Amino acid sequence: MGKKSDNKSGPGIVYVLTNDAMPNFIKIGITRKEKAEERADELFNTSVPFRFKVIDAIKVDNPEEVEEAIFLAYIDRRVPKREYLHHVSPNQIMAIFKILPKYNEVNITEEIEKLAEQIESPEEKQGEAEFKRRKNRPVMDFETMGIPIESELIFVKEPERRAIVVSRRKVKFDDQEVSISVATHLAGGPIGAYYGYYWKYRDRYLSDIYEEVYGEPHEDE
């Protein structure tokens, strides 16, 4: 199910990463490098504007099995088509990592599913409610944000790539009329990434303009 970092077997590191370009999501994966930070550095490329941060990591004898078990435990919180990206609090995975060593000799999938249920505290549930509340904030509207039709938006990672605003919520990019989130993905940004960090209007990030108008970041659809 998960995207593996290599095809080797044996001990490895299971890690959890975050990235400012994908707020409210974590990336779970495995590596057989000496440190998880080495893998995080590898993942910094043209598709993400910020470096990944290692929140926690644990070395285990069966990394593929542990990674798969975590994916199954949080299957309802993964990003479609990006199963290694989840809307889960890093604290939950850190708690699992802390307890995990004593379960090495049992059915790891079953135990991690139980741990995931036990670890979700009232605070975690409150955090989930806050995430849903934020998702219900006003939908991004170019006109409200002071960005007129026919305005040019610049893709930060490749400034020569431009999107043209064609309506209050759509842009023209690569000869397609799409939302700015879809344009972000077409330009090379990862699914689930917040568009505001990838586009500029008159040298200002869309995220800054949105916050100024609406109060905090939000997806456009």
pLDDT at 79: 67
Q: Measuring CA to CA, which residue among 84, 74, 69 is closest to residue 4? A: 84
pLDDT at 31: 93
Tell me the domain boundaries of the chain. 12-135, 152-214
- pLDDT over threshold 60, residue 191: no
pLDDT at 110: 62
Tokens of 22: 């994908």
Q: Measuring CA to CA, which residue among 42, 49, 117, 122 is closest to residue 77? A: 117
Instruction: Classify the C-alpha dihedral 196-197-200-206 as positive or negative.
Output: positive
The top-scoring range by mean pLDDT among 55-69, 110-124, 182-196 is 55-69
pLDDT at 186: 81
Q: Categorize the per-residue pLDDT at 136 as very low, low, confident or very high, splitting at 50, 70 and 90.
A: low
Query: Exposure pattern of 171-192 as b/e (b: 16+ CB <10 Å)?
Result: bbbeeeebbbbbbbbebbbbeb
